[in-house]
Structure 1
Amino acid sequence: MSAKTCPACGFVVYGDVEKCPHCGTALVVAGMPAGGASALNTSRVLANWKTSVAASVFGLLAGGVRDGLIELGSSLSYDVAVLAFVASLIWAAISIWYAASFYPSLFRADCQRSSSSAAISFMNLFFGGILFGCLWNSNLTKRSKGISNVVYVVWAVLLYGIVTMMLAFS
């Protein structure tokens, strides 16, 4: 799927359209980009993206099971509680990596990641929960990265810092 950037407003237009839907500037003249419009390559993920609702629900349920197991472990003996805490720290690091590195890479044309909509829909809700996971799936559908992944990273780092400080001072 090809994309063009409007020379007037910078809006990225996907598909074969003649005018920018944002400002109305002509984009295509005789099949060629017009007025300095640039043709872009889109990533394999975006070219074939369709949110998999079943995989998204399964990702949300799997995330709930993960959270439940960590919570169960924290209520058992001291040794198991320490393991649950370590598991939650590892989980925080992996989810921060997913939001900061993996998710944004899906929008790059040189992305070599999986292009399976089902796998990515699952991971979005597994790592991002219902709020961020649904936002990420929606952003992929709209082909617009947005800033939700940055908000998630900031939120997760702040939460990690607060929990660490609470444990240090308790």
Structure 2
Amino acid sequence: MKKAQIQIQETIIVIFIFIIILGVGLVLFYKFNESSIRQIEDDDRLVYFYNMIGTFPSMPEVKCSSLGDEKECIDVSKLIAFKNKGEFFKSNITIYTVYPERPNIECTIQKLNSGQDCGTFPVFSNIPKTFINKRVIFTPVSLYYPDRDTYELGKLVIEVYS
């Protein structure tokens, strides 16, 4: 072989190796960025739910009011009507009656109107079949029963899945 042909073959081999190294580098860079973006997405979703802990009781859809006078509590009749109306990603949002202690039975309008004892208000449920991580956020809330004109202590629980 001539010297020029050997140099061309060496150049082709060097370019081929360079392209392989560049391809491996791009794949590694993509994987690193993908995991970083997923982590940022999970963190943003968690911040959203931490913010929702403070804003959910103030939503007009569930906030109790009487003749235009708004109070810092959750109206349970509005809460039952609000069930599964919002879109809150992969989460489970439930309100439990803490005091006075009530059975862990789901409350419906029929149960409240008939005076049956219940203590669980499921707001939203979108639990994925498979998940890697589950975080639970909770805060106390005041529950207002308009039919009895009484207030009870409740716990707003938000379970976030990723």
Sort the TM-score into its range (normalised by shorter chain).
under 0.3
Structure number having the greater helix percentage: 1
Structure number having the greater strand percentage: 2
Which structure would you say has the larger Rg? 2
Q: Please give the TM-score of this superposition, normalised by the length of structure 1.
A: 0.27
